[in-house]
Amino acid sequence: MNYRKRLIILTILLLVPFTAIIGKLFSMQVINHAYFEGELHSKNNYIEVFKPARGRIFDRNGNILACDQREFEVHILPIELKNEDLLITVLYRLSVTLNADFEELKKKVIGRIDAINAKWDDKPARERKRLIERDLNTPFKLFEHRQFESIVPIDTSPENFPGIIVRETTRRVYPYGSTASHILGFVSPLYKGEYEQLLKSGYFRRHFAEGIEDEEFEYIQNVWGFMDETVGRKGMESYYDEYLKGKRGAMHIQKEIYHKTKKIVKEIPAEHGTDIYLSIDIELQKRAERALFGKKGAIVIIDVQNGEILAMASCPDFDPNMLISPVTREYNEYVNFNPETPMMNRAIESVYPLGSIFKIATSFAALEEGKISVGTEFTCNGYLFPEKKKMGCWIAKRGEGLGHGPLDVVGGLMHSCNVFFYNAGAKAGIDALYKWGYTLGFGRKTGIDLFGEVEGIMPSREWKREYAKNVRGLDPVWRDADSWNLGIGQGFLTVTPIQVAEMMSAIANDGNLVTPHLLITAEPMQKYKIPLTHPQALEAIRKGLYAVVNEPGGTAYATDLKNLNCCGKTSTAQVVSSENLAQLAQYKDHAWFSGYAPIKNPKVAFVVLIEHGGSGGQAAAPVAVEILRAYNDLNKNEK
């Protein structure tokens, strides 16, 4: 055989095995890529996820209002326990360690494994094997809400618990229970339908620490998922969720099959959430809620200079600890199907007729627009139209022939005289009433850092015209009677307690509207200077508010407020026009009191609303006494 033939034969002999190898590689990498990728997935790689601690929430004095409590979950990785005897042994040890029922635990795990094996019966053998191994390599939660002491044996002797994974997790805790619940809100797992929406929006990807690759994220998504995600619901937990929640970390582990060892390929720690400090004083908050207990209503106490909320109470309330999963059926019914609406923050989410406190806005409208002067008097004979006994003052209900007589704006506020403000409202007119009501904050949101704030209604000509389109029989034209009603805070006007607190702050601080807020920030809050062109108007209004509390005949003089160095205004807001219906509890007038303290150099403004409480002087003012005493007690060392 010549040299050329020998070379050809040798070449063929060498090429045959290489061709087989190349063919095998082609099969592995192209034809059966998914299968071998699954083998790598199921046998060699594992990624553990680290959940971040959620940021803590503090009050202004450093008291913890919300924090995470460390807990542990116990998972099983069935692929590492294919030997049935080993599986049973490990489950028995686990049941003893965690004081669990062994038979129930065994039934749960074997049932899961059997379900995985049966799930892919219709697949070809090779594909079935890959899918089963993939599912067996997916951790399966056995226990949750376990304390550290119970999992110590597992953590310190992992060789006795092969295939068992302990994951550190957290549970949100609210140390003060229901106190400040509407401010704090709560956290909960994802609701049905939220998961896919958040996944598509990139929410879960965004909340992983930098360094997690896309393929690693995909692995985590497929193996672990994110159904354990908790999100803020209501209050600070919701509004500042992005700051509080932090970012997940991960550890990529590679298993060495032949050496049965594990190597950490990558470890990225979780980034814990940001702590936040609130402006509220939890002790003042507790006292405010105590003063409101057993009633329906709201209280707001605000720093008049910077808009910081010192207390915001809403009653009834709820305990956020009871809303951490799992929620009992009874508590779910209490918060979600209760006609008393305990989840509603009445300070910002509910609107009410305001009544006489709006007489402050009417005073501004009439005085600042030059329609009356501080010396202008109107005479009260009990009715705006005495001969017809129509458009009555509240004093006329106390006896025939009663009236306040001639009053200027100071006296009108002091006695809360309806007749004075019917006249002042008519003089000002709807355009001025709307302008000054809106300027003082009504009919628009304050911008407080809480979701759910509503704006209420500051009616105008245009508003009534549009509103009448949907109300059969309602005159679309703004009439004098509408201005009379609005002048005393009745009619179409609706407001929130936080809006009243904002307005009262502006009166106390020389005419600056400051945005109410709960988060303490180093940046000064934006102030809006109310364009006052007649300084005597604000001075007269302050004198009127002083007289309400501190001079005989004032509508709050009979209370202990006169001993607490404050000014304010009572308000009894009519819910229905029928006096017969008004005798029923559900139609009884709303009671308001709002004011500021101290009289000179005011520091705080406050508002009290009692739903269907009746007279502002009799129902709301005594509550104001309690909260002012609480504020003074807690700040007695301040000059």
Per residue in 425-460, pLDDT tens?
A: 999 999 999 999 999 999 999 999 999 999 999 999
> What kind and span of H or E run contains 527?
strand 527-529
Q: What is the DSSP string of 464-506?
A: HHHHHTTSTT---S--HHHHHHHHTT-TT-BB-HHHHHHHHHH
**Separation of alpha carbons 253 and 137, rounded Å:** 13
Per-residue pLDDT tens over the stretch 570-579: 999 988 755 5
Q: Which three-class secondary structure state does DSSP give residue 108? A: helix
**Separation of alpha carbons 585 and 576, rounded Å:** 12
For residue 391, is pLDDT > 50? Answer: yes
Taking each helix axis from N to C end, the angle separating 418-439 and 359-368, rounded to the nearest 10 degrees, works out to 80
> Which span out of 7-11, 297-301, 571-575, 616-620 was modeled with the highest average pLDDT?
297-301
Amino acid at 351: V
User: Which of 210, 190, 250, 238 has the alpha carbon at shortest distance from 450?
Assistant: 238
Residue reference for tokens 């803590």: 56
For residue 257, is pLDDT > 70? Answer: no
Question: Which option is the CATH number for 282-319+346-634: 3.40.50.450, 3.40.50.300, 3.40.50.1000, 3.40.710.10?
Answer: 3.40.710.10
Amino acid at 433: L
For residue 589, is pLDDT > 70? Answer: yes
Q: How confident is the model at residue 260 (pLDDT cuts 50, 70, 90)?
A: low
Per-residue pLDDT tens over the stretch 70-94: 889 999 988 888 888 999 999 999 9
Q: What is the mean pLDDT of residues 315-340?
A: 93
pLDDT score at 321: 95
| Token pair recorded at residue 468 | 């009448």
Which architecture, in CATH terms, is 40-277?
Alpha-Beta Complex (3.90)
Domains 40-277 and 282-319+346-634 share a fold: no
For residue 358, is pLDDT > 50? Answer: yes
Beta pairing class for 186-189 and 230-233: antiparallel
For residue 258, is pLDDT > 60? Answer: no
Tell me the pTM.
0.85
Beta pairing class for 57-58 and 276-277: parallel
Torsion of CA 179, 182, 183, 187, to 10 degrees: 100
For residue 409, is pLDDT > 80? Answer: yes
What are the domain boundaries of the chain?
40-277, 282-319+346-634
- Which one is predicted more confidently, 113 or 398? 113
Q: How confident is the model at residue 639 (pLDDT cuts 50, 70, 90)?
A: low
Amino acid at 459: P
For residue 367, is pLDDT > 50? Answer: yes
Per-residue pLDDT tens over the stretch 24-53: 434 434 434 443 344 334 456 778 888 899
| Token pair recorded at residue 169 | 């997790």
| Token pair recorded at residue 566 | 């404050």
For residue 15, is pLDDT > 60? Answer: no
Q: What are phi and psi of 451, to 5 degrees?
A: -75, 150
Q: What are phi and psi of 452, to 5 degrees?
A: 100, 0
Which of 6-10, 201-205, 248-252, 438-442 is the least confident region?
6-10
For residue 11, is pLDDT > 80? Answer: no
> What kind and span of H or E run contains 569?
strand 567-573
- How many helical (H) and strand (E) elements, i.e. helices and strands, does the chain have? 22, 21
Per-residue pLDDT tens over the stretch 503-522: 999 999 999 999 999 999 87
For residue 414, is pLDDT > 60? Answer: yes
| Under 8 Å between Cβ of 587 and 594 | no
Whole-number percent of the chain with pLDDT over 70: 90
**Separation of alpha carbons 497 and 354, rounded Å:** 9
pLDDT score at 398: 77
Computed over every residue of the chain, the mean pLDDT equals 89
Q: How many residues does the chain have?
A: 639
pLDDT score at 579: 57
